[in-house]
């Protein structure tokens, strides 16, 4: 099984899960909220380490960039299952009601991020900072545009 | 890159990270704590879904078992970087002081879990429930023994 296949398999699994009611995946809404917050936080940490290299705040380390990008790509499919029906309440969170009222748009953002994360991991495998920079921009933009539309500050 | 290689690469990356001071990976201790809690929670959710099939609480679904086991295996290397020096304070958590005072023993537990998670993913790829059951037991035991020794209730 290639890495790409693994990412695709995890993505497919997450899509399957998305189609189920939250109750089928999480014992209660609180768990779904902790799950999405936890997975997004872990993704954000690894994504941020690539960003620090892209922005010159950390020296470029091709292996570290690839490791971090692989983790981001492998996890990019996960958080969305935690936004199922009925998970707008149950624990403190920053998700706007639009996540549930504009679900198609939200899912589109989630899909864009997964696509960009895959491209970033592919770029990181070249070991070239300029390729990573080129892929990092659109990936970071996909985070920002979703946060702007669907996350309270 | 095979899935096994991916898991090994992520594990190697996490080991590299473990060798660095927490400040090199996380902006502050609070982030390290959120990181380890988030990654362990996500792992626990996916692990629990396999457990529900193993214990007959959910009907056996070979594909779902494999998807969940792949996620557990891919993430099994991550949480440990969040237990670096100076991360015993900074946010509420349940880690016992022994995590830092008996670091070699803690690392051994972390390593055992990664090994068992890899075996569980391999068992899940056979698509056979009896193989999954056989691998699930030791994996679950590795969670429990670490929690007993290093996590407050």
Q: How far apart are CA B112 and CA B132, in angstroms?
A: 17
Interface mutation vs chain A, best among B2, B11, B25, B67, most A CBs within 10 Å = B67
Torsional sign, CA A31, A115, A138, A57: positive
CA distance B134 to chain A (A): 23
CA distance A150 to chain B (A): 21
CB A53 within 8 Å of CB B53: no
Q: Mean of the pLDDT values across residues B107-119? A: 98
Q: Give the model confidence (pLDDT) of B130-146 as tens digits.
A: 999 999 999 999 999 99
Domains of chain B: 3-150 (1.20.120.10)
What is the band of A25 on the pLDDT scale with cuts at 50, 70, 90? confident
Q: Give the model confidence (pLDDT) of A40-63 as tens digits.
A: 999 999 999 999 999 999 999 999
Report the predicted TM-score, pTM, of the whole model to 2 decimal places.
0.87
* Chain mean position to CA B68: 13
């Amino acid at each position: 099984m290639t890495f790409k296949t693994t990412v695709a398999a995890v993505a497919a699994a997450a899509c399957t899960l998305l189609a189920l009611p939250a109750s089928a995946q999480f014992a209660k809404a609180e768990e779904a909220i902790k799950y999405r917050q936890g997975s997004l936080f872990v993704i954000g940490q690894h994504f941020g380490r690539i960003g620090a290299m892209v922005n010159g705040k950390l020296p470029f380390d091709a292996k570290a960039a690839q490791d971090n990008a692989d983790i981001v790509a492998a996890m990019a499919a996960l958080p969305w299952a935690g936004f199922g029906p009925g998970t707008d309440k149950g624990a403190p969170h920053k998700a706007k009601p639009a996540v549930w009222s504009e679900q198609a748009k939200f899912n589109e953002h989630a899909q864009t991020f997964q696509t960009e994360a895959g491209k970033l991991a592919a770029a990181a495998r070249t070991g070239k900072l300029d390729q990573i920079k080129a892929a990092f921009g659109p990936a970071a933009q996909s985070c920002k545009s979703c946060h702007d539309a669907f996350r309270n500050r």
